[in-house]
Amino acid sequence: MAMIIESVPNISEGKNKDIIEACVDQIRTTAGCTLLQYTSDPSHNRTVITYMGSAEACEEASVKLAKKAVELIDLTKHVGEHPRMGCVDVMPFIPIKEATTEDCVELSKRVGERIAKEADLPVFLYEQSASAAHRENLASIRKGQFEGMAEKVKAEQWIPDFGGQRIHPTGGVVAVGARPPLIAFNINLSTSDLTVANNIAKIIRRSSGGFDCVKAMGVMLEERNIAQVSINMTDFTKTPLYRVVELVKAEAARYGVHVVGTEIVGLCPMNALFDTAEYYLQIEDFNPAVQVIENHLL
Amino acid sequence: MAMIIESVPNISEGKNKDIIEACVDQIRTTAGCTLLQYTSDPSHNRTVITYMGSAEACEEASVKLAKKAVELIDLTKHVGEHPRMGCVDVMPFIPIKEATTEDCVELSKRVGERIAKEADLPVFLYEQSASAAHRENLASIRKGQFEGMAEKVKAEQWIPDFGGQRIHPTGGVVAVGARPPLIAFNINLSTSDLTVANNIAKIIRRSSGGFDCVKAMGVMLEERNIAQVSINMTDFTKTPLYRVVELVKAEAARYGVHVVGTEIVGLCPMNALFDTAEYYLQIEDFNPAVQVIENHLL
């Protein structure tokens, strides 16, 4: 049984196919890595790459990707809706199989050190790898974006963990760290009133008193003319999917609104679905690691 | 990606540890097989063995097990509550990964032919491998049990598929065949009235007008003083778990009874739980083969 780690690097290029493919090729050409998907958003001008592999393979692919991104992506010319601070903006490592958070923290530190040296890109350790509490949250690190970063790193509390008190002139800086699997989960409502989705989002998210591991906001699905609660589940082992859905149903009822459907965007770990089945079927003493046949093949 | 098939042979010995271990050893010592579990019921005087492996490994293990069972288990001396007709009574093959029903049917025929020759045990092909509709159901084949089998096989419609028109004098006959994964699933009710469980069992099972792929009966859980609907889900891809639970809730409501919990006994395929999560979360356009991360490791 070999350790498997997932990584989801975001690069600051979402339009130029040649550059995107050249970056994705760094994963494709690394032995021991499996490319799962990559999706480019031209308006964000950003590409999200998802792959998995052994710790060694992820380390190799990460360093190669950082080098290629520094070579091809110039942040001084980058325009896009999504906030960004580096040519490769963020590089999370997620334990999938036979791997612990500690394994991913160690990997992120090895990768951070090598990227600073080999790609000349200063590195912030973030999330579970952060060197201080104020540096855990990606949004806090990224605040000011590329344009403000040269000034920001002059402050003691924002010195990069690797690569010195500076930014790369065209590549910026990158955040590298361990985190739990994130599930992008949307809940569609039987209303075209965005206020309802916004109110519910406020109730379920941590930042305004809701669940610990939920980020949420209301958005309109224009093509279906319905409002949606758009959610990032940052740790389903603490805040499970079913609990969020049930609370959304309960709060929507206040408006005579119900859930018309949900969406899992991209990938999700099997255990998030086993949790859900266990809850709704009321299964007593269920042990997926032993009782789910396919777990014996992993 | 290699083909993986599961097999769940039942042997007619549930008390004598030496005999049970000698039989289970035939799986343990076959390269390419993984023993998942084995459970012995002394009152049934029967042991259920679950393992998986490549088609070749399953074939080898099946023949070795049949030889050992013929050598060690004497049906002329067997007493137990569970109906039985052979020293190894039944040998199902279930597709798990990269395997089709057809692969399992072919395997069952190769195994049947070899068991008849090498273990001198006549074989009935059953379920999806059956040579005629009246020979699909295991209970129909087994009717009359070991004691009646020598007489039964004299009838044209009950001539074994392999091994001649006879039984083995101490080993009897064995049923070998392909079938879908079976889920042993129990639903516990908030009542000590067995009649309620029996009435609900009757409603949900095929034999009295219910779901196509459900077998069910009411039983008392004496230690908890509650009634249970005890279910065999014979094909969850046609009749899913959640549908049975929802119908049981609806029918129990007639008596003011509700579901206090359920049990999955032993193993179950991950897709049975994905189906359930998809239903209750109302996930739109969900594709577990692509979206569940661990599916990329299988």
**A257 to A187, A197, A254, A260, B184: CA distances (angstroms):** 12, 10, 7, 9, 38
CB A48 within 8 A of CB A39: yes
Measured CA to CA, the distance from residue A270 to residue A296 in angstroms comes to 14
Q: Output the pLDDT for position A270.
A: 97
Q: Output the pLDDT for position A216.
A: 96
Q: Output the pLDDT for position A150.
A: 97
What is the arithmetic mean of pLDDT over B99-122? 98
Contact between B292 and A280 using a beta-carbon 8 Å cutoff: no
Which residues in chain B (53-112) have CB-CB distances under 8 A to chain A?
A: 96-97
What is the arithmetic mean of pLDDT over B84-100? 97
* CATH number for region A4-178: 3.30.990.10
Contact between A97 and B292 using a beta-carbon 8 Å cutoff: no
Distance from CA of B118 to the nearest CA of A (A): 31
Distance from CA of B236 to the nearest CA of A (A): 14
Q: At what angle do helices A270-281 and B241-252 cross, to 10 degrees?
A: 20
Rounded percentage of chain B residues whose pLDDT exceeds 70: 100
Q: Report yes or no: A280 at the B interface, CB cutoff 8 Å.
A: yes
Which residues in chain A (118-177) have CB-CB distances under 8 A to chain B?
A: none
Measured CA to CA, the distance from residue A215 to residue A201 in angstroms comes to 8
**A211 to A207, A247, A296: CA distances (angstroms):** 9, 10, 33
Of the candidates B47, B61, B168, the residue with the CA atom closest to the CA atom of residue B110: B61
Tell me: pLDDT of A250 over 60: yes
Tell me: pLDDT of A198 over 90: yes
Domain boundaries of chain A, sorted by first residue? 4-178, 183-297
Q: Report yes or no: B266 at the A interface, CB cutoff 8 Å.
A: yes
pLDDT tens digits, one per residue of B34-60: 999 999 999 999 999 999 999 999 999
Look up the CATH superfamily of B183-297: Formiminotransferase, C-terminal subdomain (3.30.70.670)
Largest CA distance in chain A: 58
Q: Output the pLDDT for position A2.
A: 84
Q: Report yes or no: B186 at the A interface, CB cutoff 8 Å.
A: no
pLDDT level of residue B250 (50, 70, 90 thresholds)? very high
pLDDT tens digits, one per residue of A25-75: 999 999 999 999 999 999 999 999 999 999 999 999 999 999 999 999 999
Q: Please list the active-site residues of A.
A: 82
Residues of chain B with Cβ-Cβ distance to A274 below 8 Å are: 270, 273, 277
pLDDT level of residue B2 (50, 70, 90 thresholds)? confident
Q: Output the pLDDT for position B1.
A: 56
How many pairs of residues across A and B have Cβ atoms under 8 Å apart? 135
Q: Output the pLDDT for position B116.
A: 98
Q: Report yes or no: B22 at the A interface, CB cutoff 8 Å.
A: no
pLDDT tens digits, one per residue of B159-202: 999 999 999 999 999 999 999 999 999 999 999 999 999 999 99
Measured CA to CA, the distance from residue B227 to residue A64 in angstroms comes to 62
Of the candidates A105, A47, A55, the residue with the CA atom closest to the CA atom of residue A78: A47
Count of beta carbons in the 10 Å neighbourhood of residue B131:
13
**A160 to A9, A35, A66, A67, A128: CA distances (angstroms):** 19, 29, 16, 18, 16
Mean pLDDT of chain A: 97
Q: Which amino acid is at B31?
A: A
Catalytic site residue from B44, B82, B134, B296: B82
Residue A22, judged by CB atoms within 10 A of its CB (0-12, 13-18, 19+), counts as middle
What is the arithmetic mean of pLDDT over A100-113? 98
DSSP H/E element including B122: none
Contact between B264 and A286 using a beta-carbon 8 Å cutoff: yes
Q: Report yes or no: A216 at the B interface, CB cutoff 8 Å.
A: no
Residue of A223, A264, A278, A298 to mutate, interface with B, max B Cβ within 10 Å: A264
Q: Output the pLDDT for position B37.
A: 94
What is the arithmetic mean of pLDDT over A199-204? 98
Partner residues linked to B187 by β-bridges: B229, B262
Of the candidates A165, A78, A173, A83, the residue with the CA atom closest to the CA atom of residue A119: A173
Q: Report yes or no: A282 at the B interface, CB cutoff 8 Å.
A: yes
Enumerate residues 6+ apart whose C-beta is below 8 A from B289.
B295
CA–chain centroid gap for A239, Å, is: 16
Distance from CA of A35 to the nearest CA of B (A): 10
Helices (H), B172-239: 194-204
pLDDT level of residue A111 (50, 70, 90 thresholds)? very high
Of the candidates A209, A215, A8, A193, the residue with the CA atom closest to the CA atom of residue A91: A8
**A114 to A63, A71, A85, A177, B39: CA distances (angstroms):** 7, 16, 19, 14, 52
Q: Report yes or no: B188 at the A interface, CB cutoff 8 Å.
A: yes
Q: Report yes or no: B298 at the A interface, CB cutoff 8 Å.
A: yes
Partner residues linked to B73 by β-bridges: none
Of the candidates B172, B63, B174, the residue with the CA atom closest to the CA atom of residue B124: B174
Q: Which phi-psi region, left, alpha or beta, contains residue A159 (left: φ > 0; alpha: ψ -120 to 50)?
A: beta
pLDDT tens digits, one per residue of B56-75: 999 999 999 999 999 999 99
Nearest to B262 among A241, A242, A281 (CB): A281
Tell me: pLDDT of A1 over 70: no
Q: Which phi-psi region, left, alpha or beta, contains residue B120 (left: φ > 0; alpha: ψ -120 to 50)?
A: left
pLDDT tens digits, one per residue of A205-215: 999 999 999 99
Rounded percentage of chain A residues whose pLDDT exceeds 70: 100
